[in-house]
Amino acid sequence: MTPIEKQNDQQLIAMCQANNDLGFSELYRKYAKRIYNSIHRIVSHTGEAEDILQETFLTVFKEIDRLSNVASLESWIKRIAINKAISHLRKRKIQFAEIDSVDVIEAEKEYDPVENEIFESKVEDVRKSIDFLPQGYKTVVCLYLFENIPQEEIASMLGISHNTVRTQYHRAKKKILLSLRDKIYHE
């Protein structure tokens, strides 16, 4: 492990604030993959996600002097990325719409290879179901479930009411469960 790999966030921020290229490189290396995954879940397009990732880190490097709480570095970067992804969707004129009804998937209780294979198949089916949601629903689901952003904050980020977010999440969940209802799993 090189000395730079041992740097904590506070040291990385100080290096970036001093315009140290090694600090910028290490900060990018440390967070780029996780931030990319968050962006990709929202925009679902590799090229667009890569572009937004680059824009995100350009903003991070320009605005790093404004970061006041070192402990929240990753969430600060993620918030910039999510805002950029949402702005990108708005430019594409993605509408946040509405849909219909569902059931619930039971959680797995014990590990067993066969059950694990079934579980992984279900996870893939859920992922595919989320991918087929209208973009507005998909954005709400990804922000709420994968990014753990509260619904009130999602509403603020998207410029829609909390009730709309709640309705879209509920309808997206129903749509996902409806698409899974017809799947037959050998349990």
Read off the pLDDT of residues 126-168 as tens digits, 9 standing for 90 and up.
888 888 888 889 889 888 888 888 898 888 888 889 999 999 9
- pTM of the entire predicted model: 0.59
CA 38 vs. chain centroid, Å, equals 3
CA atoms of 155 and 143, how far apart (whole Å): 11
Please name each of the domains of the chain with its CATH number: 3-91 (1.10.1740.10), 113-181 (1.10.10.10)
Q: What is the DSSP string of 83-150?
A: HHHHHHHHHTT-----------PPPP-S--HHHHHHHHHHHHHHHHHHHTS-HHHHHHHIIIIIS---
Looking at 77-91, 107-121, 144-158, which range is the least confident one? 107-121
10-52, pLDDT tens digit by residue? 888 889 989 999 999 999 999 999 999 999 988 888 999 999 9
